[in-house]
Each structure stands twice: as C-alpha cells, then as structure tokens.
Structure 1
Amino acid sequence: MLNGRDPRIDFFRGLALIFIFWDHVPHNPLGQITLRNIGFSDAAEVFVFLAGYAAVLAYGKILQRDGYWIASLKILRRAWVLYVVHIFLLAMLMGIVFFANSHVETRDLVEEMGLTHFVTHPQQALTDELLLRFKPNLMDPLPLYIVLLAGLPLVLPLMLRNTWAVVAVSTTIYLLAPWMGWNLRAIADGVWYFNPVTWQLLFILGGAAALYSRQARPVDTRPLRRQPMFVAATLYVLMAGVLTLSWRWPQIHDALMPSVISDLIYPISKTDLSPLRLLHFLTLAYVTAKLLPGRDWTENWLAQHTCRMGRFSLEVFCLGVVLAPLADMINAMAGDALAMQLLTAVAGAALMGLLAMWLEFNKRLDQSLKAGVHAG
C-alpha cells in the first residue's frame, strides 16, 4: 500500500526550483554552483524524476483506494490545471519580457527569450501557444510535465502490477526515439527542446523508484567504501564532474580528451536525454541517497523552508519563471555589477520561499476553518 509523504522528495524538488531560477538568470554568479556545473545532468532531471516519483505515490494511492476511473479523472484534472496555468504564465512572461526589454538598451531580451515568433506572427503564435508548440525560453519544463502527466493513466495500473515491464517498454521507446526521430512539433527548430518521447523514461523511473521505496528490503550494512555499486557510481559522478569542469578551458579539454572518446560521447544531448546525462543523474541520485539516509537532516530550519517550496512546486516554479527576466533586467540596468547579481539571485530565492510560506499558511487556515465547521 502506498502511503506517507517523504520530506526528502520535497527538499530536492525545492532545491531544484532554486537551481532552475538561478540557471535562468544570465551571468548569475550563484548559477555557477548549480548541478549543471558539476556533471552532465542538471536540475531539469531532478524536476522530472521527482515529478514522476510524487505523481505515482499520490495517484497510485488514489487508484488503490478509489479505483482506476477516479484516479484517472483526478490526473487529467490536474493536467488541465497545469495547461491553464501554462497559458496564463506565458502571457504574463511575455508582458514582463516586453517591459524589461524597454528598459535594457544593450540587449534584445525579446529575441533572447525566444519571443520573436510572437512579434512577427502574433496570430499564429497564439494558436501555437494553445497547441503547446510555442514555448519561449524558461517555459519548456511545464509543457513536458503536462504531457507526461496526461499520459500517466495509461501506465499507472500497469506500474502497480508489473513495474519492471513498464520500465522495460519505456526504455525501449527511449532508445528508439532518437534513431527514429520521434519528437513533438514546435516552432523555431521544429521540435520540443525537452523531447517527451525520451524524457518519459525519467518520469517512469521516478515512479518505479517510488514503488520500490515502499517495499521492505534488507539494508546493506557494509561501509560505503565496500559497496561496489556505490563505489562505481561515485567514480562516475566524479569523472563527469571533472570532465564538465574541463569545458571551461577548451584547450585543456582538447589536449586531455582523446578524439576517439570525444567522438563517442559528444554531443551530450539534452533534448533526447543522452544516455550519459541519464546515467549521471541516476548515479548522482543513488550516491546522494546513500550519503543522506533517513529524514532527520530535513528537520533543520533551512531544509524545512526548502521542503516547503517543494510542496508547492507549481506555484514556486511559476514565480521563478517571471522573476528571472526581472532579475536579468535589474542586473543589466546596474551594469551587471557583482553585488547586484548576488542580491537579485538571493532575493529571488527568498521571494520563492516567502510564497511557499504564504501558501502553507493559507492551506492551514483553510483546514482549521473546515475543522471548525465540522466541529460546529
């Protein structure tokens, strides 16, 4: 039976949201400490994996309790809410970017944000927006989540019965997609930046991890250095970190990287979720889970605030999307001064945390009012 909410999932969802915000602000110094700088994967993989983890936990419990049709109805209702949020968020983002562009003379923020299609073909852009084909920069994760969640009713019952069969089919589709050219249409380069046909595997693996975590299994009590899988995963994470850091110095990278290996591993595609990216995220998640067992470490003040952001991930993500161009505008108007860049990065993350606090306060207030009504 599926039950309980794991605060570690909320923590890493919240951390991923902070990293996504920092990564979306150009020249942000705090963007140098996010996941994309220490390996092949980044916060997008964390977001999608944990979305699958949380979705299977939540809706799997509903399916077991209320049946398939109720669970499917709630999944599709949530997907519809996300779709409506996407439409309104895109409209708000365009307004903010046009406003910011009027205050920044040295750059064309409209072009940088991928909004040229709306300026040149506004009527077609509105149609493409409704069909999820018009996705400016910063907006890609939400349409991906909408599509993945909308497809969950097709696989959730099968996952609860035979998880590994679903994982096997998902993996087969993932491997065939780049070779067969499977992707959804979009404007600009013609395909989705996050290919749902490949990224679905990470969503499915998140759901499989949720089901696996609820199973009783023996605990490996050996020291970590004597666990071969942990050692191998750690070595891969370290190797990926060193290689990623070497990209900052192309001459050193080219001198140390044999052309045979370079031709084999590059390009490391984010669109199709390259196997190297997927493997890096999975090994990083495994190493992190081994190094941070239990839940006690989530009880400190900072972790609790991060967990709260993860519990309200949709609202916090949306705020991060609209804050990023505003932070970029303020930084540009200040001449990209380091102090201002740090201030906007920290202030933005703080505002995201305050929004989560406000949402939790309102949720608790509603619950107390309902309890009072029932008591009366």
Structure 2
Amino acid sequence: MIQPTTSPQHPAQRTDRLVARITSTLAGLLVLVLLIWAGRIGWSMLHYESTDDAQVEEYINPINSKVSGYIRQIHYQENQAVKAGDTLVVLDDRDFELPVAEAEAALANAQAQLLNLARTVQTSQRSSQVSQSQIGAAKARLVQQEQDFARYHQLLADEAVTRQQFERVQSALDVARSDYQALAGGYQTALSRVNESQGQRAVLQAEIRRRQALLRKARLDLSYTIVTAPYAGVMGRQTIQEGQLMQAGQPLAYIVNRQAGKWITANFKETQLPRLHVGQPVRIITDAYPDQVFAGRIESLSPATGARFSLLPPDNATGNFIKVIQRLPIRIHLTDQPAKIAQLAAGMNATVTVAK
C-alpha cells in the first residue's frame, strides 16, 4: 500500500504563525491589564474622592529690617537651623547711638531743672513761714498801737495829753498798720511764688516723661540694629551681603517656621465637596516618597474658591462666559509622627485620597 506524502512547511509560514500567536497573547494580556486598570479606576471612583492638586504647606515668613542701615555682620548660613532669639544680622549702629546719648543728656537736664525747682520751692516755703511769723509780730504791734491810739484819743478829749503826743501815737499807728500790710503782702507774694513753682514742677515732670519716652524710642531704634530670629526654624536662601544698605521694611532673610507644623492644602473640585467633611481621615502620597503613605484628617474647608482669593478675582459679568469647574482649598492636618512628617518640605506635590 502506498503512503501519501506530505510536503514540508515553509519556514516563513512557521514564523508568521509564531508571530501571530505571540501578538494574540500580548493583545490578550493588554486587554486584561486594561480591564484590571479600568476596574481599579472604577472601584476607586465609586468609593474614593481623590485629587493630585495638593501641596505640602509650611509658614515661610520674611524677616524685615525695622530701621535703615548698612549691614555689618551676617550670622547665619543658608538652610541653617536657628533658635528663637539667635542673632541673624547686625546693622551699623553708629547713627543710632548718637540719638540715645542726646536723649540721655536732655533727660538729665530736665531732671536737674526739676531738682533746682524743688530747692526753689523749699526756699519759698521757708520765706513764707518767716513772713507768717513776722506778720504775727506786726499784728501784735498794730493791736497795741490801736489801743494806744484809742487811749490817747480819749486823753486828748479830756485834755490830759498834748496834741503833739497824740500825733506821735497816731503816726506810730500808721507805721504799724503799714508794716502789717507790707508783711501781709509779702506773705501773699511768697505763697504765689510757691504756687507758681508747683505749676512749673508739673510742667517739668511732663517734660521728663516726654524725654523718657524719647530715650526709650532711641534705645528701641538702637536695639533694632540687631536682628534676631523670632522663633525656631530653618533659614532660607541668603540674598544679602555685608556692607549692603538696607531700608526699613526691606526683607533681610526668610525663615521657615518649624514650630507651627506642616499641613497639606488639597484643591478639590466643587463637585467633590458634598462627600467631604471636617474630621474625615485622608490618605496622602507624595511624589518625593511614592512608597510611603502619610495619614491625615480634614481640618477645615475654605469659605470660597481659590480664584476668589487671587489678586485679580474673575469677573464673569463681562465678556463671554466659559464654565470651568472651580476648586476649593481644603486644609489637611498631618497625624503621623513628627519624625515622619519631618521628611516633607513645603511645596512638595501630593495626591490626597478620601474615602466616601
């Protein structure tokens, strides 16, 4: 019996079948991966709200110069950790020492004037006391002369004394009356000088308080030439040099406040807000540390969209209107240990996920 013969397959046909088989397998795997990915995305969208528009935040504040002057010394380096009260910059203080010396001299002068016035008041009071004693003696002499005058007047009527004797007594009475009036006037003048000195004393006391305030102001301006760290933190980039002229209010440095802590600002779409509330736990993944998961909770929701807090808020009442989904900033408090949170730096991007 004759067996039928089979022709051998061409190598090109075998290669095409192998490529087709591999392509089909890869296509199937790709479809499977796409289905798994779509399933995960769908599951995530059904059970979670997420945004990748989030950043790590931290208080970064400028340290401004309160007075103008040339920089004498710089005591910090970039990225240096500092404590509250550490000296950062020293300005030239020669222009501020002179006002302090002038204010001290003016205060000493006003105090010396007050001391001299006190001595003048004391002298006037003693003079008034002496005048008061002399008034008492003059009053006694005046009473005696009035009695003598009355007696001699009666004697003259009885022709017991001569008119010359009577006139001598009358003249003595006039002299006693004049002396008494003069001493009384001198006493009133002394009292007026005492009252006037008391008024000058109030003026000098007010002047001393004014001079003291000017001295405190001069010393305060002098103290501003030494710029210190307001709190513990880390210094930012150094942009100043020794010998540079700084104006009042000009930033000398930037400091990152480590005492206030860090937080996440996540900008969620307005359509996601109904499923978000304060106290809700969140899951955070940063681009810098994609293998680490940070925990947090929603601390507060912004009362307005981020666009409303911009320098130029949008005005939809003019021109053509294109509806754009707005985003609201949400502040998220980090609840991990401080050592883990210390890895984060302000400005890092993050992805925030919240369970519905």
Greater per-residue helix proportion: 1
The structure with more radius of gyration: 2
Normalising by structure 2, we get a TM-score of 0.16
Greater per-residue strand proportion: 2
Normalising by structure 1, we get a TM-score of 0.16
